[in-house]
Amino acid sequence: MLGPVSDLLDDERLTLMGLFAETWTALAARLTADLARFDVSPVEFEVLLRLGRSPDRRLRMTELAAQTSLTSSGVTRVVDRLVVRGLVDRAACATDRRSTYAVATDDGLALLDAAVPGHLAVVEEWLVVPLLSTAPDGAADLASFTAALRRLRDLLVPCATAGAVPAAGPAHLPAPSVSRR
C-alpha cells in the first residue's frame, strides 16, 4: 500500500491546478514572445494598455498598482523604464500634490497601436479558436469557459467588481504577501 503522501500526490485537484498552471504559463510565454518584437515585457504592455484606455490616457501611480499585480514600488520602476523610452510621461496632480500621474505619450499609444493586433491574434489562435473548435457546440464552449472564468474572478478579486456597491466588507484583500525569512 502507499504512504499518506503518495495518495494525495495524485489528487484530481492537483491535476486541475496543474492544468491551469501549465495552460497559463504556456499562453503567457506566447504572448511574451510576441511582445518581445516591440521590446516590451508583459507588465510594461499592461501598464501601457491601462493608460491607453483611461480617460486622458492617464492614471495615478496608486491606481496602476491596484490594477496591475505590482506593488507601489514595482509600478514606480516600470514607469521609470517606460519614461526613459519615451512611452510614458509623469505629470503632477493639480488637486493632490502627493499624487503623480503616469500619462501615455503619443509614442506610447503608437506602440500600442502596433502591438495590439498581433497580441489579439495570439489570443485568437491559442485561446479563442481552440475553444470554438469543439465537436457539438463550439460557441457555447467559449461562452461557458468565459463565464466560468468571470465567476472565479469575481469571487477571487471582489474589488474587480468596481462600480458596484462599495457597501459592506473590506475593500481589499488582506494582502496575500509571502512571509520573508
Total binding residues for DNA by CB under 7 A?
Answer: 30
> Please, which of residues 38-97 interact with a copy of itself by CB under 8 A?
39, 41, 49, 52-53, 69
Tell me the window of 22-30, 92-100, 142-150, 165-173 that interacts with DNA (CB under 7 A): 92-100
Residue 23 near DNA by CB under 7 A: no
Amino acid letter, residue 28:
A
| Partner that binds at residue 149, options a copy of itself, DNA, none, CB closer than 5 to 8 Å by kind | a copy of itself
One-letter amino acid at 177 equals: S
Q: Which of DNA, a copy of itself, none is residue 97 near (CB under 5 to 8 Å by kind)?
A: DNA
Residue 96: exposure state from Cβ atoms within 10 A (0-12, 13-18, ≥19): exposed
The DSSP secondary structure of 98-138, one letter per residue, reads T-EEEEE-HHHHHHHHHHHHHHHHHHIIIIIHHHH--SS-H
Is residue 37 a contact residue for DNA (CB under 7 A)?
Answer: no
Q: Which of 2, 96, 135, 167 binds DNA (CB under 7 A)?
A: 96
Nearest alpha carbon to residue 16 among 130, 138, 148, 175: 148
